[in-house]
Structure 1
C-alpha cells in the first residue's frame, strides 16, 4: 500500500520532512518552551563558540547519549551520539545524566553508567569536536552505594573539580554531594574528596542529586534536584544552594524549592544552566500532566532571573512552558529513503539488530527471544495512531513481524503477522502470550495499525487492501497498557521481527499520527 493511502487511513495527511526537534523560532514569543519533546530526561546544555550543544539520559535505549546542536536554544538538530555503535567495554546499563565540559579545544562528556555486574559509576569520554567521535576513558568514581550525576566545575583558583552524588538512597542511606579535583588530563580524580552537603531539608525527601553549577556575582550556585524523580508517584523539584568557595560552606536557599509542579507540568528537575542575550535559562526535564509517564520526562527551557538577594527565581516557581498544541508537527512518516535508518531510531541497549535500508524498504533481521528484534521511535503524546505496511507473502515460515508499543523488551503490546495469521501479543514482566489469533487470506502486503488513548487503552486493526480494516477481535475491544512504561522511561512504538536466526522481515514504511 502507498504511504498516501495509509495516511488517509489514519485520517489526516502528514507534512513530510518535519523534524521532531524542529520548530520555527518566529512562532515563539518567549523562551519558555518544550525544546526536546519526548523522553529526554536529565538534559545538559553548553555553549561552544556560537553553537549550543545538548544531550540527555539514554537509560536502556541505544544509541547512547544523543547529541543535539542549536544556534538559538529553541531549534535543535540531532547530529550524533556519544556512543553510536559500541558501548564502553566496562559498562552494561543505566546510561544516565550526561554533562558536557569544554576546555582548550576539547569536549568532555561526564556520564553515569553501571559497571557490568557492579555499581553505578561516574565516567568520562572526550572528543576533539562536541559532535564526536568520542573516546571513552572509563570510570572516575565508583562508591559502594553507587556514584551518579557527575558535573565538572572549576573552583575559584581555576582548578577543575568533579561534583557528583553518592547514591545512598539506593540502600536507604543519605545522599551527600561530593567534590574532588580532576587531574590535568581530566580522566582521573586526585587528592581527597570533600562533602559539600546532603539531603537535610524536608522537601528534599530521600535524596539530593543532579547538580549543575554556575558562577555568578562572586558566588557558586548549585542547582540541584530533590525527592522522587520518576513514575506515577514522583514529587521531584529543584532547589539551589550557594557558596563563595567551591568546597563550601554551602548555604541552601530558604525559599526552596525554586521550581516545582503546577497544573501543566509535574516533577521538574535535573537541569543545566545556560545564557542567551543576557538572559538566564535552565534546561531541565518534567512530565506533562496529561501524558505523564507514558511519554516520559521531556526537555523544557525555563527562564529565570536574579532577585534582590542574589538568588535565582522562576516565574510562579514552576515551568511556564505551554504544552504543544500543534502536535501534528511531531507526526512521523518514514518511507526508509536513503541507505540507513535515521538517527531518531532506537533499540534496546546491547541488542542492536541487523537493519538494512534499501530501495525504500527496511529489512529487519529477526531475533528469537520474546518480541524478537526491534527498532523503535519515541512517542511525543499519549494519544496517537501508528501504522506500518510489511511484506506479508514473503515472510519466512515461523517468522512474525509487526508493530508494538514497547516500554522495554519485557513489557509490550504488539500486533504481529506471520504463518498466515495476525496475532495480538501481550508481554508483561517477560512473560509472553498470544491473546488473539486470526487467519488472513493470502496477500503480498499487510498494513498493521495500533491506536492508543491516554497511554492506557490500546486497539489494533489490520488491512490487506488499504481500504477495509479488520479490528481485533471486535471494534470495541481494547487492551489496558498502563503496565508498559518502566519507572524512568516513556513508551516507544517499534517495528518488530521475531523468528529463527537468519530470517528477516521487510517493512515499507512507518507512520505515527498524534492527537491531543
Structure 2
C-alpha cells in the first residue's frame, strides 16, 4: 500500500495524524480470535478481518462476531460489532468461523452456531457493508438439520452457480466428511442434496481424535489456480498438532474426484486457513497460531502456487 495514500486517509481514529493514529491501532498480537478470515476490498483500500471470538470460542454464552479493518495488514481498527445475537436467535454458544463473501451485490457471512439439543450448523447472514450489521437469513442453518456440521464456505463454480462446502463432523460420523451442496441463486436455501467429496482419512497425514477411527475435517477453503486447477485447503490434526493439508480436484470441478497432496501447507499447531491476495498481488494464507487456548492469534504467511500446488515461501 502506498504510504502517501495511507496518510491521506480521513478515517483514522479521532481524526489524528497518520503516525499518531497508527500507534493507537491494534496489531495482530493484540487480537484474540480463531479462524481468521480476511476480505480484501481493493476498491475501498481496506482489508476486513473476522474470526471466532477467543473468549467464548470453547464455552460460555456467545454474543456474536466482531470485525477489524486495516490499510496495511499490520495496524487494525476495531473491534467493530458486525453481528450481535438477536432476541430469539436459535443458538447460544459455539459461534464459530465467520467468513464474509461479496456475492451479487451483497455481503454474505457464513458462520457456524450451536444450541443444546440442536445440531451444529452453518447459517448464512447478509449485510449491505463489510462491517455489517449482518442479519440472519431464514430461521436456521442451511446444512441438514440432523447433521452435525460446521465451517461452511462459499464457492461459485464455472457456470456461476453457488455452492457451500462444509464439514460433516467426526463427532457424528467418525471419519469426518468434506461435503458440497449447491445453493439457491440468492443463497437462501439448499438447491441439492449434500455430496461427500472426501473423508479425512483419505489423506495420509491426519491422526486419530479421541479414539480409533475418528478423524477431523475442518476449515475448507477453495483456491482456483491461474492454470484452472481447483485446490482446497482444509484442516485436521497431524503428528505435530493442528495442521493444513491440500486436496486437488482431478476434474477441475467441485464434484471432483478429489485427491490428497502428500505435502501439507502448514504442519505445526496452527490451522483453519484461508487464502487471499494483498492489494499488491501477493498470495497469503491466513490462519490462527498457536492452536492453544487462550493464546490463539491471527497470522499471515506468504504463499506461492508452484508446480500445480501451494507452498509457503521461505
TM-score range, shorter chain: 0.7 to 0.9
Measured in 2, the distance between the counterparts of 1:189 and 1:296 equals 37
CA 1:235–1:87: 2 relative to 1, 3 Å:
farther
> Hey, what's the Cα distance between the residues in 1 that align with 2:286 and 2:276?
8
Q: Which is greater in Rg?
A: 1
- 2: distance between equivalents of 1:87 and 1:235? 38
Moved more, 46-55 or 99-108: 46-55
Structure 2 matches for 1:122-161, cutoff 5 A? 122-137=122-137, 138-142=140-144, 144-161=146-163
Partner of 1:360 in structure 2?
none
Contact 2:229 2:308 in 1 (8 A): no
- Residues 220 and 234 of structure 2 are in contact (CA less than 8 Å); yes or no, is this contact kept in structure 1? yes
C-alpha separation in 2, matches of 1:17 and 1:101: 27
Does 1:212 pair with 2:189? no
2:26 is matched with which residue?
Answer: 21
CA RMSD of aligned residues (A): 2.5
1:258 aligns with 2:258: no
**Cα distance, 1:156 vs structure 2:** 1.6
Distance 1:254 1:171, change over 3 A: same
Residue 240 of structure 1 pairs with residue 242 of structure 2: no
CA distance in structure 2 between the partners assigned to 1:89 and 1:128 by the alignment: 21
Tell me: CA distance 1:38–1:135, structure 2 relative to 1, closer, same or farther (3 Å): closer
Give the conservation status (yes or no) of the 8 Å contact 2:39–2:100: yes
CA contact (8 A) 1:62 1:84 kept: no
Q: CA deviation at 1:42?
A: 0.7
1:21-170 → structure 2 map (5 Å cutoff): 21-22=26-27, 35=28, 37-48=30-41, 49=43, 50-58=45-53, 59=57, 60=60, 62-84=62-84, 86=86, 89-137=89-137, 138-142=140-144, 144-167=146-169, 169-170=170-171
SS of structure 1 residue aligned to 2:205: helix
Alpha-carbon distance, 1:83 to partner: 2.2
**In the alignment, what sits opposite 1:496?**
none
What SS is found at the alignment partner of 1:170?
A: helix
Q: 1:112 to 1:87 in 2, by over 3 A?
A: farther
- Residues 439-496 of structure 1 show CA distances to partners (whole Å, capped at 9, x for unaligned) of xxxxxxxxxxxxxxxxxxxxxxxxxxxxxxxxxxxxxxxxxxxxxxxxxxxxxxxxxx
Kindly state the Cα deviation for residue 298 of structure 1 after the two structures are TM-superposed. 1.0
Conservation of the 8 A alpha-carbon contact between 1:115 and 1:121: no
> In the alignment, is the contact (CA less than 8 A) between 1:122 and 1:142 conserved in 2?
no
Distance 2:23 2:46 in 1: 22
From the superposition, tell whether residues 208 and 83 of structure 1 become closer, same or farther in structure 2 (CA, over 3 Å). Answer: same
SS in structure 2 at match of 1:248? coil
Residue 226 in 1 paired to residue 236 in 2? Answer: yes
How many residue pairs get aligned? The number is 274
Structure 1: tracts of 5 or more residues without a match: 1-14, 23-34, 262-266, 317-516
| Secondary structure in structure 2 of the residue aligned to 1:192 | coil
**What does 1:220-369 correspond to in 2, within 5 Å?**
220-227=230-237, 235-243=241-249, 244-255=252-263, 257-261=264-268, 267-276=269-278, 277-287=280-290, 292-293=292-293, 295-307=294-306, 309-315=307-313
TM-score between the two structures when normalised by the length of structure 1:
0.50
Return the TM-score normalized by structure 2.
0.80
